[in-house]
Amino acid sequence: MIDAISVAVIGSSLKALIGETGDALRRSSHSPIIREMLDYSCALFNAAGEPVAEDANIPALLGSMTYSMPHLLAENPEGTVFPGDIFIGNDPYRGCTHTLDIHIFAPVFADGKIIAWIGNLAHHTDIGGTNPGTEGFANRSIFEEGLRFPWVKLVEEGRENKSIMRYFENNTRDPASSMGDLRAQVASARLGLRRMADLIARFSAERVREAMEERLAQSERRIRSVFASLPDGKGSAVSFLDNDGVGTEPVRIEVSVELAGDELTIDFTGTAPQMAGGLNCSRTATLAAVVFAVKAVFDPDADQTAGSLRPLKMKLPESSAVNPAFPAAVSLRHLAAQRVTDTIIRAIARFAPQLKVAGSFVGFSSLAAECRHPRTGLPVVMADDLGGGAGGNVRYDGLSAVDPYLGNVGLLPMEICERQYPIRIATTELAPDTAGAGEHRGGLGIRRIYEFLDRCDVVFYTEQTNQDFAPWGSSGGGDGRAAHLVLQRRDGSEEIILKNRLIVEAGDRLVTTTAGGGGWGIPGKRAPDAIAQDIREGKLSEANALALYGYAG
């Protein structure tokens, strides 16, 4: 039986090891979406594919790896995996979330047996398909969403599979960046293998294995004790996506949550059938949303391992918007997954006294542009994703200009954008008057203006443009202001953008304003000094100060 100190030491070493692999991936990647915006994650798994250590970066990706490993193991049984193998996969119907998120897994051998797996996942800017950036709100099936890799060997016993590499390179709009990112993922996995070899040499394979199993058991005991310490309760919530990407009707997301003893049940019965467009939330993406919401609400400070998932029971209706059937399109699953997370939190708030928070922006305003590099003339794909305001809570105002919940993606730096793409970011600022009013107001959204310096093929999309579905206020607080996109043509005309694919010309501008978070508490109880400070800082206009708070200065 391994002792507690050894478990702590080995566990800390595993976390440090995974953190180092994440640093290596970021620093050696080519695309800004990985290098600057940090859209990647890394994790370590035991031989059974259960995560035991994570580099906590993008919750959506960590949750994805949790549920993709069982598919890899099922398709590659014992006796078919060898030292030096590295696997690639991205198929949403084989445990992944959408095709742009490429998984890399490498087995860790000791004494001729697999004792662990090193894994990483990175969002690629383009992997083919109908649209620039691959994602498509109007996609009708998975076959429009680029390459799909089953769980195959990208590297076989240390030798790169050049055929797969060439096939990959031949099917992306931005081959130089995509190949650089893929090789960065392989390099990150190989670093993890070297560090695991050092750890095994120091502690022995058996002690490392025992420490991993005990970490899982500790996580399970901890979350069960948290659940058991709380009163039993039930809560439900309903929310809506603006539309399904091809139609105009809202899409219903319904969640019921029940805490009973030391177990938690999350039930999506009542959610709309799977969508005709590309916003379906792949099963793995929905599960990742559940994992994040449960951790954030009940035990945010704990190490995340598969052990904390054992007391969870989940019910996902078949062929629904949160568990679509093949070959439904899922490339914009993040819009639905963010909405799922927000709905889970709202449902838990119905019975959990410790959760006193308003809704956050989950629209994830984004664009992907196929264009030419301003200096080399080579084809490139630019991608940017914007967060918004977080909800206020019982103690504080909501955070402004953040990518809440599952995202955590950073802004594309304007200097990087202008250096690599024919696009100038003219303005990035907090959007005034977007926050929901309250004793503790919501956070502010982002206003960002893109100026196109050359002809580009661009996909634009956002959610929460319908004020009825804007970030919700709580305990008397007001809703945040809905998001909106406006395309200003060089001839002076304007177009309201919801989800569009358009050709833009040099001189056109996109004005993006994301939603502010919901307010918490009765606005009349907000401190006058806080209102005055918001006015001084340009976060709140005097007119809205009077209308929302009755404040006249």
In this structure, the answer to whether residues 215 and 364 fall within a common structural domain is no
- Residue at 95 is within a domain: yes
Indicate the SS3 state at residue 234. strand
Q: What is the dihedral of CA 164, 166, 168, 173, to 10 degrees?
A: 180
Q: Which of 196, 221, 246 delimits the end of a domain?
A: 221
Q: Which of 221, 244, 265 delimits the end of a domain?
A: 221
DSSP, residue by residue, 417-432: HHHHSSEEEEEEEEET
**Is 163 exposed, middle or buried (CB count within 10 Å of its CB: 0-12, 13-18, 19+)?**
exposed
DSSP, residue by residue, 515-540: PPPPPBS-GGGS-HHHHHHHHHTTSS
pLDDT, tens digit (0-9, with 9 covering 90-100), for 156-181: 999 999 999 999 999 999 999 999 99
- Residue at 20 is within a domain: yes
Residue range(s) defining the domain that contains residue 460? 356-553
- Residue at 241 is within a domain: no
- What was the pLDDT predicted at 214? 97
- Residue at 441 is within a domain: yes
Please identify every stretch of the chain with a pLDDT value under 70, giving residue numbers as ranges: 61-62
- What was the pLDDT predicted at 56? 73
- Residue at 198 is within a domain: yes
> Which residues 6+ apart lie within 8 Å of 245 measured at CB?
136, 137, 138, 139, 275, 276, 277, 278, 279, 332, 499
- Residue at 269 is within a domain: no
Q: Which of 221, 241, 266 delimits the end of a domain?
A: 221
CA 416 → CA 339, 419, 531, 552, distances in Å? 30, 5, 36, 43
Domains held by the chain: number: 2
- Residue at 181 is within a domain: yes
- Residue at 300 is within a domain: no
- What was the pLDDT predicted at 65? 85
- What was the pLDDT predicted at 174? 94
pTM above 0.75, yes or no: yes
Q: What is the dihedral of CA 21, 173, 100, 471, to 10 degrees?
A: 110
